[in-house]
Structure 1
Amino acid sequence: MSTVRRWIRAAVSRKVKVLDLNFGPSSEDEVIELPKCLITCDSLESLRLFLLGRMLSLSNAGFSTLKVLEMNLVELIDEDSVKSFFENCPLLEELNLFDCLLNKLVTLCISSESLRILRIDNRNLDYTEDTPDDYDLESNMILYNNEGLCNSLEVCCPELVYFQYGGHIAYNFDFENMGSLKVAVIHPEDMSQVDLSFESMGDTICELFAGISNVEALSINLYFVQALKDRLEDRVRHVADEIDGFWQF
C-alpha cells in the first residue's frame, strides 16, 4: 500500500481530476484507508475504486470537489462513517455501487443534497453458503452467504433524477425527499434461494415500489412483477377469508 500511496500523492500533486484505483486479488483481510491527501484533493472530480472485496474504511470527512464516485467490489464496514462520508461530499452528482459487500451494515444510508444519479447493482454477487473448491479470487464473482446484504436501504436525495437497483435486494426501504426522481430501473434477481418468504418478498417490493411511484419512466423485470402479483393475491385471499368469517358469524 505504501507504493500506492506514493503514486496517489504524485497524482494529487499534479492536480488529478479523474482517478481509477484497481487492486489485484489478495488472500489477506486487508482494510483500505484512503489517504488524507486524496480526500482533501481540491481538483479530483471522478474516482473509481476496484477493491476485489477488500474492506474500505471511510472517514467522516468526504471529498470536497468530487462529482462522480464509483465503487466496485468494495466491502463497507461502518454504517455511521458511510452515512457521514456521503453527506460530506457536497458536489457529488453520481454514485455507483457495483457488487459491493454490505453485510456489516445494518442500514445503508445515502443522504445527499446534490446527488442526481444513484446506481446500486449486485448482480455479480452469488448467494452461496459453501465456497467451491475451484473458486478463483480473480473472478468478478464474490460469494455471499444469506447475510450478504444490509437489512435496510435509506435514501434521502432531493435532487435525485435517476435511480437504478439491480440484483438481490435489501429487506427494507425508506425513501425521503425523492420528488425529483424521473427514471427508476428496478431489476431484482430471483430470491428463491434465500431464506425469505414470498410474502416478505412481496412486502419488500411493495415498499420499494411506493418509494418510486412518482417517476415518469419505470423499468421493472419479471421478478418484480411476480412479487407484486403474489402479494396482491395474498391480500385478496386474506380479504376473502375475512368476508367468509363475517358471514359465518
Structure 2
Amino acid sequence: DHDFDVSGWICAALCRGVKEIDFHLDYLGDVLTLPAVLFTCHSLVTLKLNAEGSKIEVPSDVCLGNLKTLQLRNSVVDGDSIHRLISNCHVLEDLAFIECFLAYAGALNIQTPSLKRLVLDFDVVEYRDFNYVVVINAPNLVYFQYTDAVAEGYALCNMKSLEKADISIYRFDSSDCETSATHLIQGICTVRSLSLTVDEVIFRTCRLPIFHNLIEFEYRGLGFNGRETWLVEFLHCAPNLKTLTLNFLVVAETQWKVLLMEVPSCLSLHLKEIKILNFKGDARMFEMISYFLDNAMVLEKLMIG
C-alpha cells in the first residue's frame, strides 16, 4: 500500500521536528491524500512536493506558521486549494508551481505580504480552461516568473518591489486576449529586469505602460510578421534601458531596412549593451544589427552568438 507507506514516512519525520521535506511521488493515483499533520506542522520551513500526475488534496485545516519555501512540481492543483494553502502560510517567502496543471479555477488568488519569489509555470494544453482571473497582491515580491496561456483577466497590485520578471504568455481561445495580456504587463511595469516571450497575443496593442525603471530587457519573441514594429514600439516604453538581449529567429518578412518609425530615446541616450542570440547570418539578421548600430548612439558592447 503506497499511500500507507508514504503517510507513515511523513508522519515519522514530522514527529521528529523535521524542517525540510522534499519528496517525489510518481503516479500514486488521480488524487494524492497526504496526512493532515503535514499541513499543520510548525517545524516545517521548506516543503517541496513532486506528485507526478496526481491532484493534491489540501484539507480544510491548514496552518504552516514557519513555512518559508513551498514548491509543487508536476502536480494537479486547483484554485481553491492554492488559496487555502498559501493564505495559511504567514511567513512564506518562496512559492513555486512548476509544470503544474491548473484545474477548476475561477480565480488564482495569491495575497501574501511576505512573498519575495513567485513562480507560476503551468502546463499549456488545449483541454485546459483558461477562463479564470489571476489575482496577486505581494508588496515585497522581488522575482516573478509566469508561464501560461493568457487568462481571462489579471489583477496585479502592490508590485513596486519587483526587480526581475520572466514572462512567457501564449494565445489560446480568449474573447479579449490582448486586453488581458496588457493588464498583466501593466501590473509589472515597475520592474528593473524583464524577459518576455510572446506571440502576436499583445502585438497589436497600443496600451503598453511606460517602464521607467527597466534597465535590462530580453525579448524571446516567436516568429510573427511585423515583430520589428512591435519591438521598436516597446523600446519607446523603456526610456532608460541599458541592456537589450534579442533571442529569436528573424522571419523573411522582417522590414528593419525600411522601418519608418521614430528612434526610441533609450537607443539615443542610454543603451550600452546589445546581445543577439540565435544568430544565423542571413540578410534580415544583418539588417537588424545595422538598425541598432546606426541608432544606438552610446553603445559600448555588441555581443553576437
- Fold in common (TM above 0.5): yes
SS of the equivalent of 1:92 reads: coil
Shift of 1:184: 1.3
Contact 1:157 1:177 (C-alpha < 8 Å) held by counterparts: yes
The match for 2:162 is 181
Q: Which amino acid aligns with 1:221?
A: T
Shift of 1:158: 1.3
Shift of 1:78: 5.4
Contact 2:30 2:53 (C-alpha < 8 Å) held by counterparts: no
Aligned partner of 1:196 among 160, 174, 183: 174
Contact 1:157 1:178 (C-alpha < 8 Å) held by counterparts: yes
Shift of 1:62: 3.3
The match for 2:149 is 168
Shift of 1:172: 0.9
Shift of 1:150: 5.5
Q: Quick check: 1:155 aligned with 2:131? A: no
Shift of 1:222: 4.1
Distance 1:222 1:78 in 2: 25
SS of the equivalent of 1:127 reads: coil
Aligned positions, number: 204
Stretches of structure 1 lacking an aligned partner (at least 5 in a row): 129-144, 234-249
Distance 2:4 2:15 in 1: 17
Q: Quick check: 1:212 aligned with 2:210? A: no
SS of the equivalent of 1:102 reads: strand
The match for 2:73 is 72
Which contiguous aligned blocks of 4+ residues in structure 1 show a shift greater than 3 angstroms? Answer: none
SS of the equivalent of 1:3 reads: helix
Distance 1:201 1:150 in 2: 11
Distance 1:39 1:150 in 2: 29
SS of the equivalent of 1:160 reads: coil
Distance 2:21 2:35 in 1: 13
Shift of 1:84: 3.0
SS of the equivalent of 2:30 reads: coil
Shift of 1:49: 1.0
Contact 1:104 1:150 (C-alpha < 8 Å) held by counterparts: no
Shift of 1:161: 1.2
Report the identity percentage: 29
The match for 1:10 is 12
Shift of 1:106: 0.8
Q: Which amino acid aligns with 1:9?
A: C
SS of the equivalent of 1:7 reads: helix
Q: Which amino acid aligns with 2:73?
A: N
Could you give the per-residue CA deviations for residues 24-56 of structure 1, whole angstroms, max 9, x where no partner exists? 125x432x2332322232221111111123122
Contact 1:162 1:181 (C-alpha < 8 Å) held by counterparts: yes
**Greater displacement, 49-58 / 113-122:** 49-58
Distance 2:79 2:198 in 1: 34
Distance 2:15 2:107 in 1: 36
The match for 1:243 is none
Contact 1:57 1:77 (C-alpha < 8 Å) held by counterparts: no
Distance 2:65 2:197 in 1: 37
Q: Which amino acid aligns with 2:187?
A: G
Shift of 1:177: 1.9
Stretches of structure 2 lacking an aligned partner (at least 5 in a row): 208-305
Q: Quick check: 1:127 aligned with 2:108? A: no
The match for 1:48 is 48
1:38 and 1:222, CA in 2 relative to 1: closer, same or farther beyond 3 A? closer
Contact 1:121 1:166 (C-alpha < 8 Å) held by counterparts: yes
Shift of 1:108: 0.8
1:160 and 1:205, CA in 2 relative to 1: closer, same or farther beyond 3 A? same
Shift of 1:228: 2.9
Distance 1:43 1:150 in 2: 37
Contact 1:96 1:119 (C-alpha < 8 Å) held by counterparts: yes
Distance 2:22 2:131 in 1: 26
The match for 1:37 is 37
Q: Which amino acid aligns with 1:2?
A: F
Distance 2:97 2:15 in 1: 28
Q: Which amino acid aligns with 1:75?
A: V
Distance 2:100 2:174 in 1: 21
